[in-house]
Amino acid sequence: MAPGKKKPIPSGIGKRRSAAKNEPSDSYQLRRAEIAAAAVRVFNQLGFQGASMSAVATELGIDRASLYYYISSKEELFDVVISEVIERNALIASDILASKMSPGKKVHETITALMKSYGDSYPLIYIFIRENLSHVSDRRSVWSKRMRQLSREIENAIIAMIEEGYASKAFRRVGPSRVVAYGILGIIGWTHRWFRPEQSVISAEEIGHIYADIIVSGLSAKRE
């Protein structure tokens, strides 16, 4: 160390974070859940780039240092709250694809389930849709790669359902299956422009049923 320079004083954050993790499990998880809920509100208002740990701390009414006991960065916070929902949706789509339902029923169930998930986790998935995963920092590249993979799994499951419908003649061949699948996801995703659970007269699941009826009816080879 250069003469005259003082030795840095440890911040103690690491020790305090370890202490927080040693709290009773229920207490620690409850606090993490409260932080996640506050983060959702902040990310929804400010977007990922505009959000900060300070803003989350302010939303919670605590000082920023206390927040660091539970979460190390806004990136970790965003990744934690999004990952669980996207992973669950990918599993739902995969399970429906693997089922013995007819292609029309599979598409219907998938649309309804995804829209219900959008409502149940509001506004998490809408925040995710708005973010550009190709612009994340190197530290988050593993998470970004995983999220893109899960998104592709959902897309590919729907594509496979459309292909099943084409192969069985249950669906009219209206166009490339990938275009149809992207159209389905686009219809669901566009609801972020107007759907607000607390203001909507019908639930997200009911909206999903409506869209599913329209899409499956349009694809069906047996049209009246």
pLDDT at residue number 187: 97
Query: May I ask the CATH class of domain 13-67?
Result: mainly alpha
- pLDDT confidence of residue 87: 93
Name every residue whose Cβ is closer than 8 Å to that of residue 45 and which is 6 or more positions away in sequence.
none
Longest dimension (CA), the chain: 89
- The DSSP 8-state label assigned to residue 6 in this structure reads P
What is the spatial distance between Cα 51 and Cα 125, in angstroms, rounded to a whole number? 17
Question: Tens of pLDDT along 105-133?
Answer: 999 999 999 999 999 888 888 888 876 65
Closest by alpha carbon to 44, among 54, 33, 55, 34?
Answer: 55
Provide the residue type at 183 as one letter. Answer: G
* pTM for the full predicted model: 0.77
Identify which of 10, 6, 205, 60 has the alpha carbon closest to the alpha carbon of residue 121. Answer: 205
For residue 188, the one-letter residue type is I
pLDDT of residue 97: 98
Q: Could you read off the pLDDT tens digit of each residue along the chain, which spans 224 residues?
A: 555 554 444 444 454 455 555 555 778 888 888 898 888 888 888 877 788 999 999 999 999 888 888 888 888 888 888 888 899 999 999 999 999 999 999 999 999 999 999 998 888 888 888 766 555 666 677 888 888 899 999 999 999 999 999 999 999 999 999 999 999 999 999 999 999 998 999 999 999 999 999 999 999 987 54
For residue 32, report the phi and psi dihedrals to the nearest 5 degrees.
-60, -40
Q: What is the CATH T-level fold of the domain 82-219, as seen in this structure?
A: Tetracycline Repressor; domain 2 (1.10.357)
Distance CA 28, CA 105 (A): 42
Report helix, strand or coil for 171: strand
For the chain, domain boundaries:
13-67, 82-219
**In whole numbers, what is the pLDDT of the chain averaged over residues?**
86
